[in-house]
Amino acid sequence: MCIESTPTSAPRKKRVPARVKQPLAVPEAANVYWSLDFTSDVLTDGRRFRTLNVPEDHNRELLGVEIDFSLPASRVVRVLMRLVEYHGCPTQLRTDNGPEFISSKLH
């Protein structure tokens, strides 16, 4: 007796509709938008380090860079408070949707 089987395929993933890309607003004055961005790299001994970069979006001046092996949310808040004391408070902060920015300390 021979049983015929049909190959089963994996369920298809739902397609997420493409979002409409909109250009970022270019600030007409300094201290309107600051961006926050994390980058990382690896030392020759294999240890990973991270950098927090804070550019001012009008003139692209780099307001702050913090470098360490760990940059928890409390440290990011301290860096931002120091920058606000020196440069004043921006109108808005820009971030990507990275996991670094989901801490309740940053909201």
Q: Which tens digit of pLDDT belongs to each residue from 12-30?
A: 777 878 878 878 777 888 8
In a domain, 13, yes or no: no
**pLDDT at 99 > cutoff 80:** no
In a domain, 61, yes or no: yes
N-term to C-term CA, the chain: 66
**pLDDT at 2 > cutoff 60:** no
The total domain count for the chain is: 1
CB-side neighbour CA atoms (13 Å) of 26: 3
Domain, as residue range, for 42:
33-106
Question: What pTM did the predictor assign?
Answer: 0.71
Q: What's 78's domain CATH number?
A: 3.30.420.10
pLDDT at site 104:
66
Token pair of 74 as six digits = 């409390």
In a domain, 27, yes or no: no
